Amino acid sequence: MSVYVMVNGIPGNMGCMVAETCVARGLKLVPYSLTGEIIEEKEKVVAGVKVELLKPSTRENVIADVMKRYPDMICIDYTHPTAVNDNAVFYVKHGIPFVMGTTGGDRVALQKLVEEKNHPSVIAPNMAKQIVAFQTMIEFLATEFPTAFSGYKLSVVESHQKTKADTSGTAKSVVASFQKMGFDFSENDIELVRDEKQQLERMHVPSEVLNGHAFHTYSLDSADGSVHFEFQHNVCGRHVYAEGTVDAVSFLAEKLKEGKARPFNMMDVLRSGKMR
């Protein structure tokens, strides 16, 4: 089955990597990409395909023709946190199935939009299957053993490349699970490390991946300080997210073919056993 994908967020690093991974995995790259109004480039060659970049001010004039040429395409979104909700409205308006890899935005409004319209989509704060499994484990702990860490204190530190504009969606999701366990801890309490000197010396991020990494540490300490638990996941580079994104596209394409498409998350993809 040929699957056409429109990767939005080119010429960004993540958008380009996802596009290259799609082609490497046998998906067909649509030669158009939604991009930001401030982007000066008009086109970008990715994986041997010349991709025309469409700004918010011009996309409505072009999308009908794009959809006519690629009627069954699926959009992948790796744009900017500020564009999340506007892009989702655009996809729903035009009936385009999508995978939302971009973090940030109003996630409650995003989820409400796709659920009210029963719009085919995969939305998740993280596309890496191993981290999705970790999130599922913490959520299981919160559901099955909510008092296991009563009286403990939680601290969360996350380090990403200095260009990341928002707090990690993964960290927010994990914190939401810990909140179910009674921790008095909000998203605003998450410590963001964006200074490269701290990333090198404190977080021990390898210098070669400063421009693309995700180091997270979740620490739980007993009230008297005698017991310490620590959950950590450190990702160097972006490839693991790109692979998971392509898994999500393949999963959604299969559901569309079966006539069973609806809003999904990465836990649905993981449970399906379709992830490589």
Task: State the catalytic residues.
Answer: 160, 164
Q: CA-based angle 160:161:167, to the nearest 5? A: 45
* CA–CA distance, 121 with 123 (Å, rounded to integer): 6
Cβ neighbors of 72 (< 8 A, separation 6 or more) are 3, 4, 256
* CA–CA distance, 49 with 55 (Å, rounded to integer): 19
* CA–CA distance, 257 with 268 (Å, rounded to integer): 17
Residue 117 in contact with residue 99, Cβ under 8 Å? Answer: no
Residue 41 in contact with residue 265, Cβ under 8 Å? Answer: no
| Cα dist from 198 to 142, 188, 192, 237, 238, whole Å | 32, 20, 11, 18, 21
Residue 76 in contact with residue 249, Cβ under 8 Å? Answer: yes
Residue 240 in contact with residue 130, Cβ under 8 Å? Answer: yes
What b/e string do you get for 116-137 counting C-beta neighbours within 10 Å, with b at 16 or more?
eeebbbbbbbbbbbebbebbee
11 cis-preceded (ω within 30 degrees of 0): yes
Q: 46, 42, 51: which is closest to 22 by C-alpha?
A: 46
